[in-house]
């Protein structure tokens, strides 16, 4: 029933990924190079126009996919790592450990997280690394909560008790018995984390917290903000691509998780 | 025939009345002015951000004002005299001036301001006025006495150095004085209200010392954070004036074509800002003059002027602004020439590798907005063409300032106000004894040239205008040949205003003048 | 004229299902005041038939494809939604299976009962009627109960509230869909009695759906047996129970074990002994509320003889599962000791890495075959997991997996498949194979058959008996079902609220229970032989 | 009495969170590369070290870090958030001035998103599988994936620049109005930022409302209610609504922090004079005390929102805090 979502999502995301990987082959121009007159509206040679310096917008968008996808994927992986570890330990062992970890997680949920990301990135000065790091630090709580609740349910499942009564160690019960069964919803949320991370990166870049040595969609939109009334193509096209990327990931995640719970959407995403 | 006559007469009369309306200032009206960013405060001396100056200069006044050629004119000082040895400046003050709270303005206020207040709160003013001993001859006469001549002094009584009321500030903690929130000055407008996040309201000073002035009833300085919105507000007539960086330059271009708006680029002669890239000369390869020259040849100053600054700039040829009386046009020129640049680099032994890369350097960009980002991005692209790979270092205002003043950079881009007289604004970047680590806008690059030091020092104490010109001319030739910094452009800040608004930019302070004679047509 | 007459009812399933019709050509009738029991295993279409009577089919994708349902002469399938609403709760009352979820958790009891009166414009005093009904269903202090919320009531009490609601408007037909299967046996018996008394007393017809022939025997005037959407057998109770015509009916009847135990087999040396086991759970309190302590086991002792089966019988909350888990070291005990005779004295409280011998010697078969197998692990891997974790050689383990699958009557190819490809009964066989792979001396079966349909239940019980005989296993059989216990066990302990209230040989306990709770349990079992007794 | 318990349970947790946030922010910001003293000096065009030293001293920046932190925490307890370096005013005052604007924006957006979103979500759930459901769900999905800042720009482009029907920025017209006209003016200015901020949350509540209602509709008591003869409408109103609102309320509490993050973007796109915009400006200026203050105050807002949500859930759900 949700397979069309997976289909559409996968195809869209696939195209965007291919675009990111093959960027140097696909892009008509060097995205950084001044390749034409500034602020040229879309035409035959500059399909999506040029920006304030005369750089090709299309080329920038194609290369920008790299930053978005890398930040999205790496942050989602890191946050999934933190979230799974915290959630699994809390859910499996329960008791005081659980209470402490739940408090810890709550704390990160309570923090107005986007402000926190801005703060971190500004402190560490914007770079691919600092942006990824900051995003990972704030988007993990939903994963942790989900993993914890999955573990709370799964650990009382009889197959887990069966594994324990077969003499498996805690570690292998967690990793080999419970975790694989907790993965489907985690995968769904994890893929939403990718979307959240991409949106957060774009929001940061939009506000000017971007790595100036990289072209990213948010940066393109943000730096075009002063001229967006006249040179609409500078904000509209990169935004559209950003939107499609997030949409494709969301579709994919919905398809994967089906009964997707909106509460699992990351905290920092906008 | 008769009817034709009367028709012609009617036209003539009509034109005459139109001309009358153009010429006769109207009393009344509310000026709506854009102000961005919202300044932290508007007490003169304490808050010197450019956005604080607009309201501050309406409330406070100085002894003198300056015309476009930086010639001094009387203001709170009726007249003045400079002794022939250039050591003694005597100012005769106006007698009918009152502070906004009704107290009389006297020599005590002047002595307090230049001898006490500014010395404590305003570092740049301190640099000038510490050279002088200020004293009161009588209630309306003050004397500035110098130990050695300092010709720029007569050009120093402006924006930074407005006079504050001694009776409210003497003996208080200047920074925490409650009057800072509702400043009391002598200017044509009084502080009325500050609605945080929205506007500052100034009201007409009915007791202003120039009879019948000011014309305007009110000034609203409205904080409009979005450049596009500022442009729109001017376009729709909601706002009457915007200046400096308020507008994106391509907006200025568009607005200037609208029938109800006018643009002037005058009024910044006093500041004379120059955009440049400073290199850390302590480091390789910047220590090599050929490398610096190569970069000059690699950069296209016209591109900065035409694309990045949208024509609102002039190509800078050297350290002294072309509006300055000390400007020397006859200096070595660096027209963009990639061949020459490459030849210089080759000569240095910086050969391109397989990717065409000769060396990698870092540029610390100025975090003041898109125009500066674009400048840095263009610099990267331009230098890449000759095999110099540039990594842009992101920063924030604090980070930029910290790294720059602590010499923690390879290249740093910024603009410096050269302030008309080189002794005030130019020499500070090149004097070897001004290599003060930790202090911003000093000689961060570490430039040291005894010849340059000697010329600058001599010019600063000379009282002979011609001699000074001569000395500065020599300095400019040396510095330009040395490519001591990479001069890019002179900033030309546009002031866009509604044609209903008259007498906007009348002197070197431009929109930062008192607006006593500004008036709004119906 | 019958009160309700269902004629050739067909309910279509959405396309792509395993069959075209969920209910296929069923014709039934219920007369004024009589009780019709509709019996069938899960998926037989019995509940859908009931729902269809007043247009309450659970899903949009199900629709009535044909037939008529005449209630008091008019066809409910052709009624407007308005007319159906008047019928529901007005002329036809409903009681559903799960009392825990059948009441709105956010509303007070009184309001929920009263709602049906308001909806059907009951002319008398509403509050009066609510109190009257609550006392009619024998709920204590109705006055305070109306202010209570559902979660403050037990399952049995909630089911009484549901009955009170269903009968409040004096309907002529009460539809009860498995009204007791979620309840404990003793409660079950009380609710059934209540239903019978109230319907007989007010001349209300009862359309009772159940899977339990015990319930049928106790309640029915007439019986309808359904299988896969079709009516298999239809007749009076005695005719159907005593002289079933259809093989399917006979099979269902045969699968119900009699509440009768054979003599205890001779007990060998004890293999597992426990004394003074005590365990309590502490619920976390808050700043103002001290945590509460719930005793799950109070000084429980037991002993299991070699080759024998010990049944642990009790209702939910009696502590019987906790006992199993403590013996398995899945939960620690507060005090007491357990002794795996000759192998591991006093093994409780060992650290988990020192439990290897215990793990090898005691194994567990769980209740829910759908939950007890890791869905992401192939059957072969699941069975091999224990021995591999104990360090046995993969080659040997592999061979043994095939052998074990054969032993539980599964094809060896099952090893390469995933649990979702198997039915509940098959999965339970796999779980047994997995336990046997450890070559345990003691097998604990925790409600191992209660989630299965009766016919499958019987197969698994037989399998367990066979295996016990072949392998010389000793077994602990934890169950709430006395019939199952009777069939399997030599010895029994009866538990209530964490205490052992009675223990002894199964046969003795059944025939001469010493404790009144045991007697009540036995009494509550609606078993087939009791038909004659009851008549 | 339950509400007193709720408060008592909330208070220590809230305090713990606030102390932790205070400490975290404090140390993080002190680790920043920018030296606060130099910000001031740089901004005022300072050219001598004496001035920087003066600032350092007058703001206690020359004291050891732990002392600054301890002082900071002690001051927090008395709501003394210090002085903004740049603004030369009390941080508490600056934030106080900006809070109403942010509250107006965020609460309007949240309330609208909750009401419209939940209602549409319920509608979609009632009509699950029909074209109505498809349209509503698809629209929610689109809103869900739309970057806030982008949609803000697009709305300005469409509704302000092209259509010219809504003001693109600010909280009031450039020329102030009074009385009722001022209220209308404010509402007029509120439309775009609220739409922008609400869009994402709207999508969240459509989805949440839908899934909660689908879940509740499948519960047995709904069948019981139908079996009592209630019409679909009555079932929905009397039984489903309250039950499906519980997760919505819980969610609303969880989202306040996120909402404030959204406010940073929306307020800077629309030049809304609230704390979101203040936060970003302050950060760009490295106005340490101001940033710390904003973080702290936002955290208080979040923690208070949690209390309110908790009380709301308790008033809806009799089970919470009693069993």
- CA atoms of D42 and B405, how far apart (whole Å): 9
**CB-based contact D47 B402, cutoff 8 Å:** no
Per-residue DSSP letters for C179-219? Answer: TTTTS-HHHHHHHHHHHHHHHHHHT-EEEEEES-HHHHHHH
**CB-based contact A158 C367, cutoff 8 Å:** yes
Backbone φ and ψ of D59, nearest 5°: -110, 10
Nearest to C119 among D5, D224, D228 (CB): D228
Please give, one letter per residue, the 3-state secondary structure of B213-239: CCCCCEEEEEECCCHHHHHHHHHCCCC
Q: Does A164 touch chain C (CB under 8 A)?
A: yes
Asked if pLDDT for residue B489 goes beyond 70, the answer is yes
**CB-based contact D258 A261, cutoff 8 Å:** no
Cβ-proximal residues to C400 (8 Å cutoff; 6+ apart), any chain: C384, C387, C437
Largest CA distance in chain A: 73
The whole-angstrom distance between A17's CA and the closest CA on chain C is 30
**CB-based contact A226 B365, cutoff 8 Å:** no
* pLDDT, tens digit, 9 for 90 and up, residues D237-257: 989 998 999 989 988 888 888
Q: Does A184 touch chain C (CB under 8 A)?
A: no
CA angle C326, C331, C335 (to 5 degrees): 65
Nearest to A231 by CA among A47, A55, A50, A44: A50
- CA atoms of D296 and D92, how far apart (whole Å): 10
Q: C-alpha dihedral over B326, B330, B332, B337, to 10 degrees? A: 110
Instruction: Kindly report the pTM of this predicted structure.
Output: 0.84
Residue C497: what pLDDT?
A: 87
Nearest to B403 by CA among D35, C105, C319, C337: D35
Owner of token pair 């078969």:
C365
* pLDDT, tens digit, 9 for 90 and up, residues B355-394: 889 999 999 988 877 788 889 999 999 999 999 999 999 8
- CA atoms of C369 and C351, how far apart (whole Å): 29
* pLDDT, tens digit, 9 for 90 and up, residues B100-150: 999 999 999 999 999 999 888 887 788 788 888 999 999 999 999 998 888
**CB-based contact A53 B374, cutoff 8 Å:** yes
Residues 361 through 390 of chain C touching chain D, CB cutoff 8 Å:
none
pLDDT tens digits in sequence order for chain C, 535 residues long: 689 999 999 998 877 667 788 888 899 999 999 999 999 887 788 888 988 998 888 777 788 888 999 999 889 999 988 899 999 988 999 998 887 788 998 999 999 999 999 999 888 899 999 999 999 888 888 888 999 998 888 888 898 999 999 999 999 999 999 888 778 888 888 889 999 999 999 999 999 998 888 888 888 999 999 998 899 999 998 888 888 888 888 888 877 777 777 787 887 788 999 999 998 877 665 545 566 777 888 999 999 988 899 999 988 878 888 898 888 888 888 888 888 887 777 888 777 777 888 888 899 888 887 788 888 888 899 899 888 888 888 888 888 898 899 888 888 888 888 888 888 888 889 999 999 898 899 999 988 887 787 778 888 898 999 999 888 899 999 998 888 888 889 999 999 988 999 999 988 898 888 998 898 888 877 656 444 333 3
Where b means 16+ CB within 10 Å and e means fewer, A136-171 reads: bbbbbbbbbbbbbebbeebbebbbbbbbbbbbbeee
Owner of token pair 């901020």:
D197
Nearest to C386 by CA among A220, A169, B422, D155: A169
Q: Does residue D242 sit in helix, strand or coil?
A: helix
Whether the CB-CB separation of B124 and D45 falls below 8 Å is answered with: yes
Nearest to C378 by CA among C398, C403, C407, C359: C398
Nearest to B49 among D33, D43, D174 (CB): D43
Q: List residues of chain A with CB under 8 Å from any CB of chain B.
A: 32-34, 38-39, 52-54, 122, 125-127, 208, 210-213, 223, 225-230
Q: Does residue B409 sit in helix, strand or coil?
A: coil
Provide the CATH number for the domain formed by B30-39+187-267+495-520 in this structure.
Answer: 3.40.190.10
Q: Does A213 touch chain C (CB under 8 A)?
A: no
* Delimiting residues of CATH 3.40.190.10 domain(s) in chain B: 30-39+187-267+495-520
Residues 226 through 265 of chain B touching chain D, CB cutoff 8 Å:
226, 228-229, 232-233, 238-239
CA distances from B289 to B283, B292, B479, B485, B486 (A): 12, 5, 11, 10, 11
Q: What is the CA radius of gyration of chain B?
A: 25
* Delimiting residues of CATH 3.90.76.10 domain(s) in chain B: 65-167
Pairing mode of beta strands C309-314, C474-479: parallel
- CA atoms of C405 and C398, how far apart (whole Å): 11
Q: Which residues of C touch A164 (CB under 8 A)?
A: 330, 352
Please name the chains neighbouring C, where neighbouring means 3+ C-beta pairs under 8 angstroms: A, D
Nearest to C39 by CA among C204, C198, C220: C220
Backbone φ and ψ of B420, nearest 5°: 65, -65
Residues 495 through 514 of chain B touching chain A, CB cutoff 8 Å:
none
**CB-based contact C390 A167, cutoff 8 Å:** yes
Residue C141: what pLDDT?
A: 87
- CA atoms of C41 and B229, how far apart (whole Å): 73
What residues in chain D have per-residue pLDDT under 50?
42-47, 323
**CB-based contact C94 D227, cutoff 8 Å:** yes
Nearest to B132 by CA among B143, B122, B140, B121: B143
Whether the CB-CB separation of A77 and A210 falls below 8 Å is answered with: no
Q: Which chain D residue lies closest to C149 (C-alpha atoms)?
A: D318
Q: Taking the domains of chain A in order of start, what are their residue ranges?
A: 65-260
The whole-angstrom distance between A119's CA and the closest CA on chain D is 7
Q: Taking the domains of chain C in order of start, what are their residue ranges?
A: 33-53+90-254, 270-524
The whole-angstrom distance between A141's CA and the closest CA on chain B is 30
Per-residue DSSP letters for B436-502? Answer: -TT-TTS-TT----HHHHHHHHHHHH---HHHHHHHHHHHHHHHHHHT-SEEEEEE---EEEETTEE
Q: Does residue D88 sit in helix, strand or coil?
A: coil
CATH architecture of the domain B65-167 equals Alpha-Beta Complex (3.90)
Other beta carbons within 10 Å of C512: 10
Q: Which residues of D touch B180 (CB under 8 A)?
A: 88
**CB-based contact D261 A112, cutoff 8 Å:** yes
C60 vs B517 pLDDT, higher one: B517
Task: Tell me the CATH number of domain A65-260, given options 3.60.20.10, 3.10.20.600, 1.10.3720.10, 3.40.50.2300.
Answer: 1.10.3720.10
Q: Does domain C33-53+90-254 have CATH number 2.30.30.240?
A: no
- The CATH superfamily holding the domain C270-524 is P-loop containing nucleotide triphosphate hydrolases (3.40.50.300)
Two structure tokens written together for D17: 């969170």
Nearest to A115 among D142, D207, D298 (CB): D298
**CB-based contact C96 D242, cutoff 8 Å:** no
Whether the CB-CB separation of B26 and B214 falls below 8 Å is answered with: no
Give the helix/strand (H/E) hosting C271. strand C270-282
Residues in chain B: 522
Residues 143 through 182 of chain C touching chain D, CB cutoff 8 Å:
149, 151, 162, 165-166
Give the helix/strand (H/E) hosting B249. helix B249-256
Cα B297 to chain center, whole Å?
28
Mean pLDDT highest for which of A103-117, A186-200, A235-249, D282-296? A235-249
- CA atoms of B419 and B273, how far apart (whole Å): 8
From first CA to last CA, the distance across chain B in angstroms is 35
Same fold: C33-53+90-254 with C270-524: yes
Q: Which chain B residue lies closest to A122 (C-alpha atoms)?
A: B396
Q: Does A221 touch chain D (CB under 8 A)?
A: yes
CA angle D273, D276, D278 (to 5 degrees): 65
Whether the CB-CB separation of C386 and A167 falls below 8 Å is answered with: yes
Two structure tokens written together for B70: 């930086």
Q: Which CATH class name applies to B273-491?
A: alpha beta
Tell me if there are at least 3 CB pairs under 8 Å linking chains A and C. yes
- CA atoms of A266 and A246, how far apart (whole Å): 13
Whether the CB-CB separation of C469 and C448 falls below 8 Å is answered with: no
The whole-angstrom distance between D272's CA and the closest CA on chain B is 9
Q: Does D194 touch chain A (CB under 8 A)?
A: no
| DSSP 8-class letter at B157 | S
Owner of token pair 């062992």:
A93
Give the helix/strand (H/E) hosting D83. strand D83-84
Residues 196 through 255 of chain D touching chain A, CB cutoff 8 Å:
200, 204-205, 207-208, 211, 247, 250-251, 254
Pick from C371, C373, C419, C424 the residue to mutate for testing the A interface (most A CBs within 10 Å). Answer: C371
Whether the CB-CB separation of C288 and D5 falls below 8 Å is answered with: yes
Cα C381 to chain center, whole Å?
31
């Amino acid at each position: 029933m949700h397979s069309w979502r997976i289909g559409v999502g996968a195809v869209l995301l696939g195209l965007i990924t291919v675009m990111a990987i093959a960027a140097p082959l696909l892009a008509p121009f060097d995205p950084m190079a001044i390749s034409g007159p500034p602020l040229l509206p879309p035409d035959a040679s500059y399909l999506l126009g040029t920006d304030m310096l005369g750089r090709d917008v299309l080329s920038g968008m194609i290369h920008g996919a790299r930053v978005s996808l890398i930040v999205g994927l790496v942050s989602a992986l890191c946050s999934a790592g933190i979230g799974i570890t915290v959630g699994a330990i809390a859910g499996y062992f329960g008791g005081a450990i659980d209470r402490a970890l739940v408090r810890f997680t709550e704390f990160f949920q309570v923090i107005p997280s986007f402000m926190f990301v801005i703060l971190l990135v500004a402190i560490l000065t914007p770079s691919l690394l600092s942006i990824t790091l900051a995003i990972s630090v704030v988007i993990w709580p939903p994963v942790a909560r989900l993993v914890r609740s999955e573990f709370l349910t799964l650990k009382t499942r009889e197959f887990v008790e069966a594994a324990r009564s077969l003499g498996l160690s805690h570690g292998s019960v967690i990793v080999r018995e419970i975790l694989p069964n907790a993965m489907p919803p985690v995968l769904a949320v994890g893929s939403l984390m990718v979307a959240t991370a991409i949106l957060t990166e774009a929001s940061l870049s939009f506000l000017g917290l971007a790595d100036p040595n990289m072209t990213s969609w948010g940066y393109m939109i943000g730096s075009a903000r002063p001229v967006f009334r006249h040179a609409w193509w500078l904000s509209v096209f990169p935004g559209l691509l950003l939107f499609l990327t997030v949409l494709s990931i969301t579709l994919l995640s919905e398809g994967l998780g089906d009964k997707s719970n909106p509460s699992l959407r990351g905290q920092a995403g906008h | 025939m008769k009817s034709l006559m009367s028709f012609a007469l009617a036209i003539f009369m009509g034109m005459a009345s139109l001309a009358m309306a153009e010429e006769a200032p109207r009393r009344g009206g509310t000026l709506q002015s854009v102000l961005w960013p919202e300044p932290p405060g508007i007490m003169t001396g304490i808050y010197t951000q450019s956005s604080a100056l607009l309201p501050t200069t309406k409330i406070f006044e100085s002894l003198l004002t300056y015309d476009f050629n930086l010639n001094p004119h009387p203001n709170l000082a009726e007249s003045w005299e400079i002794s022939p040895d250039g050591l003694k400046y005597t100012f005769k003050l106006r007698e009918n001036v009152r502070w906004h709270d009704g107290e009389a303005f006297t020599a005590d206020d002047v002595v307090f301001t230049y001898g006490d207040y500014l010395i404590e709160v305003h570092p740049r003013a301190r640099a000038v006025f510490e050279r002088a001993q200020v004293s009161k001859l009588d209630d309306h006469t003050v004397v500035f006495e110098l130990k050695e001549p300092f010709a720029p002094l007569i050009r120093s009584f402006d924006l930074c150095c407005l006079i504050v009321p001694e009776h409210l500030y003497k003996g208080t903690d200047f920074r925490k004085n409650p009057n800072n929130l509702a400043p009391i000055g002598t200017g044509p407008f009084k502080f009325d209200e500050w609605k945080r996040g929205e506007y500052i309201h100034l009201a007409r000073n009915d007791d202003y010392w120039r009879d019948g002035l000011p014309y305007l009833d009110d000034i609203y300085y409205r904080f409009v954070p979005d450049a596009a919105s500022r442009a729109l507000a001017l376009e729709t007539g909601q706002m009457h004036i915007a200046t400096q960086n308020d507008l994106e330059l391509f907006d200025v271009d568009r607005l200037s074509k609208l029938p109800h708006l006018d643009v002037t680029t005058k009024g910044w002669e006093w500041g004379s800002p120059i955009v440049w890239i400073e290199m850390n000369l302590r480091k390789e390869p910047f220590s090599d003059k050929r490398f610096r020259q190569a970069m000059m040849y690699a950069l296209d100053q016209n591109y900065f002027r035409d694309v990045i600054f949208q024509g609102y700039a002039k190509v800078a040829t050297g350290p002294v602004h072309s509006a300055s009386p000390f400007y020397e046009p006859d200096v070595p020129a660096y027209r963009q020439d990639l061949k020459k640049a490459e030849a210089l680099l080759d000569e240095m032994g910086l050969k391109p590798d397989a990717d065409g890369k000769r060396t990698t350097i870092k540029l610390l960009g100025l975090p003041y907005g898109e125009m500066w980002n674009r400048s840095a991005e263009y610099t990267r692209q331009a230098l890449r063409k000759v095999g110099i790979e540039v990594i842009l270092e992101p920063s924030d205002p604090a980070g930029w300032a910290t790294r720059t003043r602590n010499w923690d950079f390879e290249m740093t881009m910024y603009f410096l106000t050269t302030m008309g007289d080189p002794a005030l604004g130019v020499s500070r970047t090149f004097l070897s004894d001004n290599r003060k680590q930790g202090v911003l806008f000093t000689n961060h690059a570490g430039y040291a040239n005894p010849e340059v030091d000697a010329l600058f020092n001599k010019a600063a104490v000379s009282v002979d205008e011609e001699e000074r010109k001569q000395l500065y001319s020599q300095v400019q030739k040396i510095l330009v040949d040395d490519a001591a910094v990479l001069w890019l452009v002179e900033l030309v800040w546009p002031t866009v205003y509604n044609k209903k608004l008259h007498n906007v930019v009348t002197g070197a302070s431009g929109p930062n003048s008192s607006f006593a004679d500004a008036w709004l047509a119906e | 004229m019958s009160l309700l007459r269902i004629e050739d009812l067909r309910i279509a399933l959405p396309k792509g299902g395993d069959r075209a019709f969920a209910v296929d050509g069923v014709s039934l009738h219920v007369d004024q005041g009589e009780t019709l029991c509709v019996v069938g295993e899960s998926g037989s279409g019995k509940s859908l038939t009931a729902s269809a009577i007043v247009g309450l089919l659970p899903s949009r994708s199900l629709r009535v494809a044909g037939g008529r349902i005449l209630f008091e002469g008019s066809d409910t399938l052709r009624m407007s939604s308005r007319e159906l609403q008047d019928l529901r709760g007005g002329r036809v009352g409903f009681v559903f299976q799960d009392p825990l979820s059948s009441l709105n958790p956010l509303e007070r009891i009184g309001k929920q009962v009263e709602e049906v009166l308001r909806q059907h414009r009951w002319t008398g005093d509403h509050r009066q009627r609510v109190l009257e009904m609550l006392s009619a269903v024998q709920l204590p202090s109705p006055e305070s109960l109306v202010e209570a919320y559902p979660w403050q009531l037990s399952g049995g009490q909630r089911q009484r509230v549901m009955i009170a609601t269903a009968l409040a408007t004096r309907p002529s037909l009460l539809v009860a869909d498995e009204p007791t299967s979620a309840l404990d046996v003793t409660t079950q018996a009380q609710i059934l009695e209540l239903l019978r008394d109230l319907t007989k007393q007010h001349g209300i017809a009862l359309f009772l759906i159940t899977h339990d022939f015990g319930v049928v025997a106790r309640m029915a005037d007439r019986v309808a047996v359904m299988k896969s959407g079709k009516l298999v057998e239809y007749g009076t109770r005695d005719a159907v129970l005593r002289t079933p015509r259809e093989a399917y009916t006979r099979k269902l009847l045969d699968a119900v074990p009699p509440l009768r135990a054979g003599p205890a087999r001779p007990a060998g040396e004890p293999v597992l002994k426990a004394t003074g086991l005590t365990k309590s759970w502490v619920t976390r309190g808050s700043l103002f509320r001290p945590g509460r302590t719930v005793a799950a086991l109070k000084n429980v002792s037991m002993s299991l003889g070699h080759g024998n089966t010990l049944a642990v019988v009790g209702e939910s909350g009696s502590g019987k599962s906790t006992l199993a888990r403590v013996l398995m070291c899945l939960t620690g005990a507060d005090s007491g000791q357990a002794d795996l005779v000759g192998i591991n004295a006093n093994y409780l409280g060992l650290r988990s890495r020192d439990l290897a011998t215990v793990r090898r010697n005691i194994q567990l078969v769980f209740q829910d075959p759908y939950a007890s197998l890791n869905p992401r692990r192939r059957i072969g891997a699941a069975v091999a997991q224990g021995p591999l974790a104990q360090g046995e050689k993969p080659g040997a383990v592999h061979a043994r997996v095939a052998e074990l699958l054969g032993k539980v009557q599964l094809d060896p190819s099952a090893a390469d498949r995933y649990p979702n490809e198997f039915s509940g009964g098959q999965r339970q066989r796999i779980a047994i194979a997995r336990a046997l792979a450890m070559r345990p001396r003691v097998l604990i079966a925790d409600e191992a058959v209660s989630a299965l349909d009766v016919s499958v239940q019987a197969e698994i019980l037989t399998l367990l008996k066979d295996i016990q005989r072949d392998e010389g296993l000793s077994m602990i059989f934890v169950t709430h079902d006395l019939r199952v216990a009777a069939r399997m066990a030599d010895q029994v302990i009866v538990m209530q609220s964490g205490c052992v209230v009675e223990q002894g040989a199964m046969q003795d306990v059944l025939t001469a229970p010493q404790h009144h709770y045991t007697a009540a349990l036995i009494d509550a079992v609606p078993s087939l032989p009791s038909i004659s007794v009851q008549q | 009495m339950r509400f007193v318990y709720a408060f008592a349970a909330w208070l220590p947790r809230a305090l713990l969170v606030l102390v932790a946030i205070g400490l975290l922010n404090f140390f993080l910001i002190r680790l920043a590369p920018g030296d606060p003293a130099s910000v001031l000096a740089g901004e005022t065009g300072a050219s001598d070290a004496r001035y920087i030293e003066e600032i350092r001293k007058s703001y206690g920046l020359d004291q050891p870090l732990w002392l600054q932190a301890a002082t900071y925490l002690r001051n927090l307890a008395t709501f003394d958030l210090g002085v903004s370096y740049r603004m030369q005013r009390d941080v508490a005052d600056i934030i106080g001035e900006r809070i109403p604007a942010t509250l107006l924006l965020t609460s309007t957006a949240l309330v609208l998103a909750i009401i419209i979103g939940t209602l549409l979500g319920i509608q979609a759930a009632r009509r699950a599988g029909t074209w109505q459901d498809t349209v509503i769900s698809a629209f929610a999905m689109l809103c869900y994936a739309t970057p806030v800042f982008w949609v803000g720009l697009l709305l300005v482009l469409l509704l302000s620049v092209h259509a010219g029907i809504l003001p693109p920025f600010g909280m009031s017209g450039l020329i102030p109005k009074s009385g009722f006209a001022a209220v209308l003016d404010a509402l007029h200015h509120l439309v775009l930022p609220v739409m922008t901020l609400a869009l994402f949350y709207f999508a969240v509540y459509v989805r949440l409302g839908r899934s909660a209602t689908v879940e509740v509709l499948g519960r047995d008591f709904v069948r019981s209610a139908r079996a009592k003869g209630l019409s679909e409408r009555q079932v929905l109103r009397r039984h489903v609504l309250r039950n499906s609102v519980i997760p919505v309320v819980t969610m609303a509490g969880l989202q306040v922090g996120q909402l404030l993050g959204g406010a940073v973007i929306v307020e800077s796109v629309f030049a809304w004079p609230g704390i979101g915009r203040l936060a970003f400006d302050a950060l760009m200026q490295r106005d340490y005390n101001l940033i710390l203050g904003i973080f702290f105050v936002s955290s208080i807002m979040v923690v208070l929102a949690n209390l309110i949500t908790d009380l709301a859930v308790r008033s809806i759900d009799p089970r919470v805090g009693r069993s």
